Structure 1
Amino acid sequence: MNELNVKNMVCDRCIMVVKQQLANLGFETSEIGLGYVKLKQPITEAEKKTIATTLSSFGFELLDSDRAKIIERIKNVVIQRIHHEEELDLKINWSTLLAKELNLDYSAISSLFSSVEGITLEQYIIRQKIERVKEFLFYDELSLKEIAYKLDYSSVQHLSTQFKKITGQTPTEFKSQRLGRGQRNPLDYI
């Protein structure tokens, strides 16, 4: 076995930390991305436990079950699209995208996600988009209209309605409270 699935790898810094910790333990990676690592050499169960212990001290978790791996892959696809791409594809169809990326039937993906996470996949996507909106509001570089366009909302009103439903505040209220300081959530807790 030389592929590891890692929970809570949600950003480039996470990738950097995991890669560094593996190097510190003497393991070389051949490929690393959100939620996974491919090592150049196979590892033993004892080495896997050492890796798991080391990574857990940084908030990461090795995944063993197939269900957990699928859930983490779903989350990584959503996070990659929403938080790490310049603009969402304005014609994005999440069900088609996820089915293609995971090579699974969307109804099975959606059902598994809901049963494990306790929220629908659509709710998870909305929450991720709202966190991205908070980030844009925090840095105050874009207008609400530009944010709505960038995140594929049909209108500023649609964005505002969803934002208030999730946060209890309008985007303007959020922004005026010292630019939302302390109100953003880590991506791995959404």
Structure 2
Amino acid sequence: MLSNYKIFIKGMVCERCILAVREVFRELNIPVVNITLGEITTVSALSAPDIAAIREKLEPLGFTLLENKKTKLVRDIKELVEQVYSGSYDFPADFRFSDVVTNRLHKDYNMISSVFSEIEDITLEKYIMEYRIEKAKELLVYTDENLSDIAFKLGFSSVAHLSRQFKSNTGLNPSHFKEIRKSKLSLSGKTGSQD
């Protein structure tokens, strides 16, 4: 379960400010739990594009978005997870995500992991595994790549390792998602090698 996400805004001084900021969030379709002077609570953490869009809409109104250091760190970690497990990262033989994150963010891994767990209510390791499994599902359903290629692209040590993690996280085998792809292709009249 994700916890609520607080955003701090400089320049809010009255009820009209609250109404103006509420309208910005409504226009951007970002659900809000509460708005008070200088603080907004959203349903969940926001993505980097959401933050950029909010900042862009608030500045012309005379407001400045202030971001909590911990939530910014979590967003930076998520962006790094996305970069590394996108399917195009060149994994070195001795790859460890903890080394990558500490080198890129210049912070102690235990602190990074602790902040991530505090903000997201899930361990960083579990988040990474869930992200990799979601990416594997996407590749199984929308590409004709085999399991060996997918395991390699997502940094799994073997097809067996990917399959075990897949079954553990989804309760299903990877072949189930290959069947979804076959069904989608047969419904659209395409063959397995076409997209």
Q: TM class by shorter-chain length?
A: 0.5 to 0.7
Q: Which residue of 2 aligns with 1:38?
A: none
Gaps of 5+ in 2: 1-44, 185-195
The normalised TM-score by structure 1 is: 0.62
SS of aligned partner of 2:111: helix
1:31-180 matches, cutoff 5 A? 43=59, 46-48=62-64, 64-83=67-86, 86-90=88-92, 91-178=94-181
Kindly indicate whether the alpha-carbon contact (under 8 Å) linking 1:160 and 1:171 is maintained by their aligned counterparts in 2: yes
Q: Percent identity?
A: 36
How many Å apart are 1:88 and its aligned residue?
A: 4.1
Going from structure 1 to structure 2, the CA distance change for 1:102 and 1:145 (only over 3 Å counts) comes to: same
Gap runs ≥5 in structure 1: 1-5, 28-42, 49-61, 182-190
User: Which has more radius of gyration?
Assistant: 2
1:7 is matched with: 46
SS at match of 1:7: coil
Contact 1:137–1:179 (CA<8 Å) still a contact in 2?
no
Runs of 4+ off more than 6 Å: none
CA RMSD of aligned residues (A): 3.0
Q: Which amino acid aligns with 1:135?
A: E
Residue identity in the other structure for 1:87: Y
The TM-score normalised by the length of structure 2 is 0.61
Tell whether the 8 Å contact from 1:78 to 1:125 is kept in structure 2 after alignment: yes
| SS of equivalent to 1:177 | helix
Q: Could you give the per-residue CA deviations for residues 26-77 of structure 1, whole angstroms, max 9, x where no partner exists?
A: x9xxxxxxxxxxxxxxx587244xxxxxxxxxxxxx6621111111111111
Partner of 1:186: none
